[in-house]
Amino acid sequence: MKNSTQTLGREILPVSYPMITTYTQHAHLLSILTHYECAHPWIFSNYIQLFINKDYKHHWGDFYFPVTYELRPSDACKWITTQKIHRDTVTTKWDSVIHFIIENINANNYVHTMINYFYVPLSDRYNKLQLHHDIFVYGYDLDRKILYVSDFFKNGVYSQAEISFTDFNLAFDTNHLTTNHDYLREMVYLYRFNDQNQDKFSADTLVNSIRNYFTNKTPEYWEMFNYGGDRDNLDFGMQIYTTLYNYVKETSEHKAMLDIRPFHLLYDHKKIMTLRFKYLYDNQHLIKLNQEHIDEFTAIELKAKILVNLAIKYNLTKDTSISESLQTLITNIENEESIFLERWLKKVVIQ
């Protein structure tokens, strides 16, 4: 692997701050891929379609990938070679998880695993809740006895940090004490960047995916990968705005707290759309795409960021007027994006 930082007793694999940070399954993967410009076409060809449960209170929304929930986006990415090892194998074959991590970092494998955040000083759950979460490990320092890690440690912000061997080892070994769902299914994931991969980029395919998002089209393989049982409970594409509007309205009526994640998902979507347009423009993939289009969508992205901040402010105050502002802004962003995409698709798309 290229660009790793290596000194005697210290190894750090390449990472960059990810383009998307709503959920760790994307943030961890994109910490690797964002670093490598050759993988950017894959990023921009994906992360287009959205889905969300109409009853968001009990479910969630996310970027759509043509795989079952039990698989991760990394399984659909040829830039990453993924291995999965059961936790029991790690504890049986290695005398400590630290030695397992060091061995794999030396082999250019990033490590993704669940640990008990009750024992993670970096976390706002430290000494409070026996809950596990998935953490991403990309390096170590033997002299300082630390690992280099990434996750949402505090205040829902994705960040890079350091954790001692002792704390990590304890958090890994006490994972069985946690009470929440293990969505990695007791597996430890290993990721290696595949620099031999060669993607053939298609601007037409990308634009068609944007059209499907705009027209709220159900993804082609949804029924196959999701067992066909929940289509009526889901919104796709720009229908996410209706779900968010109804969610804010109902939450305000019950004076309840908002889950910030769907608002951050919307913001992440606008942010990567702007980056996608910049990529298409800079590489001249679409002749009719111009800087004015980028500027116009950047303004939509900014409003989506304001929406996140408003949602946070509502949670602090439960102010009805802020809820009303949220509903108004959701409608405004939806209208602006709809007008933009309808005009842009007519002008830019090669029919």
The pair of three-digit structure tokens given for residue 233, joined into one six-digit string: 């409970």
Lowest mean pLDDT among 61-75, 222-236, 290-304: 222-236
Mean pLDDT of 164-174: 97
pTM above 0.85, yes or no: yes
Task: Tell me the three state secondary structure of residue 65.
Answer: coil
Q: List, for residues 254-265, the tens digit of each pLDDT value.
A: 999 999 999 999
CA dist list (Å): 278 to 46, 58, 269, 286 = 15, 36, 14, 11
Instruction: Return mean pLDDT, the chain.
Output: 92
Give me the residue label for tokens 């692997």: 1
Mean pLDDT of 327-346: 97
**Burial letters 234-244, b for 16+ CB under 10 A, else e:** bbbbbbbbbbb
Say how far apart CA 125 and CA 127 lie, in whole Å: 6
Contacts 24+ apart (CB under 8 A), 34-40: 35/3, 36/79, 36/193, 36/195, 38/79, 38/195, 39/79, 39/193, 39/199, 40/279
Residue 343's pLDDT is 94
Whether residue 153 is predicted with pLDDT greater than 90 in this model: the reply is yes
Contacts 24+ apart (CB under 8 A), 145-148: 147/98, 147/101, 148/12
Mean pLDDT of 287-294: 92
Mean pLDDT of 150-177: 96
Say how far apart CA 247 and CA 265 lie, in whole Å: 14
